[in-house]
Every structure is written in C-alpha cells, then in structure tokens.
Amino acid sequence: MPDNGENAAFIRKIYDRALTDGRCYPWLEHLSLKVGHRLSGSAGAEKAVNWAKATLDTLGLDSVWLQPVMVPRWERGDAEQVTVKGSKKYGDLRLNALALGGSVGTGQKGISGEVVEVNSWEELDKLNERGIRGKIVFYNRPMDPTRIRTFEAYGGAVDQRVVGASRAAKYGAVGVLVRSMGLAIDDFPHTGSLRYDSTYTLIPAAAISTLAAEKLSALLAEEGKTTVFMKMGCRTLPDVLSYNVIGEIRGAEHPEQVILVGGHLDSWDVGHGAHDDGAGCTQSMDVLRLLKSLGYRPRHTLRCVLFMNEENGLRGGRAYAEEADKKGEFHLVAIESDAGGFTPRGFHFDGDDAVIGRLFDAVKPYEALLAPYGLQFARGGSGADISPLKGQKGLLTGYLPDSQRYFDVHHTAADTFDKVNKRELELGAASMAALVYLLDAAGFGR
C-alpha cells in the first residue's frame, strides 16, 4: 500500500474536495425538502428510491441498481389524540403524542383508562394484574443524562418503547404511554418502533413528549387517580414491494471483495428524516463521488448501499446480506452512517468474535492519519443495517459523529434539514471516504 506520506496527502485531498465541492448537503436538501419523510411502503419512500437511483445514475459509477425487498406498511392515520380528562389543575389536557410505529389503533371510539406510572420492570411486575388490569401503563423512566455518549442513555431506556406494550398487556393493560426517548425537556414526541409479543393482546401504544411526561407525572403525584383518553387511527396494511438502492465502482484487483458504505433511506413519518438518516445516505453517496472525482481507482469493489426499512423491520439489511451470502460476495468492510450528520468524532469497529481482535489491530495504526481531522478509533457497535453481514467475518464499522444533539431530533418532527450543518455533514462524508480509501489501499483480507 502507499506509504504514510502518500496516504496523508490523498486524505488531505479528500477533505479539501468535500469541503469545497461536496454534494451531500444539496442532496440532503433535496431529499429533505423535495422528497420529505419516507416511511417504508409510503409514497415518500418510493419517491426517495427513485430520486436516489436517478442521482446515483448521474455519477458515472460502474453500476447502479435496485434490490427488491418486501417491506411492512404501517400508517399513522389521523393525528393521535392523547388527553388527560378532567384534572383539577388543567381540566382536560391534551398531551403531544405520536403513536409508536407498528402500534395497533384504538378504534373510532378511542379508549380510556386510569393511568399507572411505572419506572422499572420490577415496579410493573409488582403492580401485577391487580394494579394494571383495565388501566393505561405510563412508562416514565428517563434517559440517563449523565451518560456522555447519548446512545448509551438511549440504550438504557428504549426497552420501554420496544417491549413495554406487550409487557403491560400481559397484566391486562388496555394501552401504553411511553416517555419520549429524548434528553431535552420539550414538547416533541419521539416515535419509533415497538415489538409485540403475540402471546398477549396487542394494545395501542404512543410516545408522549418529555414535557407531557413531566406534567402527567406531576399530576399523578398531585391528584392521584388520573384518567387518559387515547385515540389513534394507525394500522398495518399488507407488505409492499420496495428497494435497496445500490451503486458501485468495481475493484481493479479484487472485484469480488466489497467495501460497503451506507445508511438507510427510509425514515419515520414526521419531520424530514434529515439526520436520521438522510445524512448517512447522502454522505455514503458522496463517498463514491468524492473518490471517483479524485481519480481514485479502487482495488476492491466500493459499494454504496441505501437500505430500505431500517426503522421498522430491517428487511433491507437482511435481504442485502442474504443475497450477498447467496452470491458468495465477501464484505471486507461495511461502514454505516446512522447516527446523524454531526461533527465527526471517530469510528467504532465491530465484527465476529473470531476475527474482530485481529481486524481491529490491523485498523488501529491508521488512526494517526485521521487524528488531525478529529477522529478516534475504538471497538464498539457499528450499525443495524450491516449487522446481518457479521457472519461473513469482515470488519463492521460505525461512523461516529458527535452524539450530544442527536436525541433532540431523533424520530421527531424536529428532524429537519435546517438542523444539519453543512460543514459537519461534509466532514462526515470526507471522514468516511478517507477510511474507505485507507482500508481499500491496505486491503487486509480474509
């Protein structure tokens, strides 16, 4: 591979190009403002697929294609109503809410129930059927603000959203409210997917804003018995055909070995899906364009994959890995950007236990070349869409932007284009391109 002087010089070129002639920002503007949000199976998702394919087609790559995948289709329906009824302090109080993705609706008449606040699974189990039957369970365990990495705070609270409905249904609850997965106290509800356990009745579940959660919790403390009315028109329709969007530059030496860079094209059905994950998609597209525009001829095949359905099914990621396995394609490296378009901090490296130690040792020496750009390397989780590739025993890599602001917008109506800073986005694209370049040139293999 080239010596470190050549590597440093080429990395400098990548950053220079990204910061003076980047495309990810105008692409993200288009995806955010002209396409908009794009939940799997929606018209927005179809529009996004067409736009991404057409845009990749302009880049002069060796091939661009759509990979079919059947995806779930969940619709929010009419705006949710979640209302505290007849409180002493406020009378009726509407709480800002979003149905959780995948939730059943309430029917036209809605449901009512006394609210039980629950802050731990132990509390839930202790309340048991006697305390829960016929009621609405309100999960109010906050994300831990003292975690420096906000993803750890998210990981410590999101179980309430994912499995809370069925665990409450087990004890006879009629509905579930979940405190939004956010660290700021504000009035944006954060949606996100739930997972039902079909052993129990499927009950409706909604996220309420952190501000609404604080108010509801205070009401319960001040007034005791509190009733909430929920009405949600959401429903699940039959699966529909959608696509992963893929573009590649064939490798000159090892075309059968792939270095993948990607994000997910679907988003939740509010806001623009700008940080989650329009940023990762447009950065990944720009990685290929940047390297191509600099005349770089890769040794391995460089592939940009825009996965469909990360948010509520991971069908795109699974279908991609299945086909790759079937074709015997080896993914030397897969890099995912799905943590927002914020200022770069580094990369996390993951992989099968049998290989990750060796692979990380092989990668770690390159950290010094990226340190001037504010990047650090560490072992850690990579990304959902690329996780089904783990069995191939290649290197899985997560791009790590700064995480402090991510959960202010994640899965909310506030995840809009204006929240993305141009330079921060461009620096992310450059960082990913620089890593792709280094790993392609190094080419540590199976």
The residues annotated as belonging to the active site are: 310
Q: Phi, psi (5° rounding) for residue 254?
A: -130, 70
Dist CA 326 CA 334 (whole Å): 17
Q: How many CB atoms lie within 10 A of CB 39?
A: 25
Q: Which of 16, 57, 125, 418 binds its own copies (CB under 8 A)?
A: 16
Strands (E), 209-323: 227-231, 235-249, 254-264, 300-307
Per-residue binder mask for its own copies (CB under 8 A), 217-256, x = binder: ----------------------------------------
Give the interface segment with its own copies, choosing from 16-24, 29-37, 58-66, 261-269 (CB under 8 A). Answer: 16-24
Please say whether the beta carbons of 286 and 19 come within 8 A.
Answer: no
CB of 294 to its own copies, least distance (A): 14
CB of 179 to its own copies, least distance (A): 16
Q: In what order do the strands lie in the sheet with 227-231?
A: 91-94, 81-87, 227-231, 111-118, 136-139, 175-179, 205-208, 97-99
372 binds its own copies (CB under 8 A): yes
19 binds its own copies (CB under 8 A): yes
- Residue 112 sits at the vertex; the CA angle it makes with 110 and 116, to the nearest 5 degrees, is 135
CB of 152 to its own copies, least distance (A): 12
CB of 182 to its own copies, least distance (A): 11
Tokens coding 401? 């932007």
Q: Which is nearer to its own copies, 19 or 66 (CB)?
A: 19
CB of 262 to its own copies, least distance (A): 24
Per-residue binder mask for its own copies (CB under 8 A), 405-434, x = binder: x--x------------xxxx--x-------
CB of 405 to its own copies, least distance (A): 5
Alpha-helix runs per DSSP H in 175-265: 210-223
Element (H, E) at 73: strand 63-75
Residues 6+ apart with CB under 8 A from 108: 231
Please say whether the beta carbons of 37 and 75 come within 8 A.
Answer: no
SS3 29: helix
289 binds its own copies (CB under 8 A): no
14 binds its own copies (CB under 8 A): no
Strands 97-99 and 111-118, sheet pairing: unpaired
The dihedral region occupied by 309, where left means phi > 0, alpha psi between -120 and 50, and beta the remainder, is left
Element (H, E) at 117: strand 111-118
Q: Which of 66, 201, 404, 444 binds its own copies (CB under 8 A)?
A: 404
367 binds its own copies (CB under 8 A): no
Give the interface segment with its own copies, choosing from 315-323, 348-356, 401-409, 436-444 (CB under 8 A). Answer: 401-409
Q: Which of residues 109-168 bind its own copies (CB under 8 A)?
A: 145-146, 148, 150
Per-residue binder mask for its own copies (CB under 8 A), 170-209, x = binder: -------------xx-------------------------
Give the interface segment with its own copies, choosing from 70-78, 131-139, 255-263, 367-375 (CB under 8 A). Answer: 367-375
Which residues contribute to the site for its own copies (CB under 8 A)?
15-16, 19-20, 145-146, 148, 150, 183-184, 343, 345, 372-374, 402, 404-405, 408, 421-424, 427
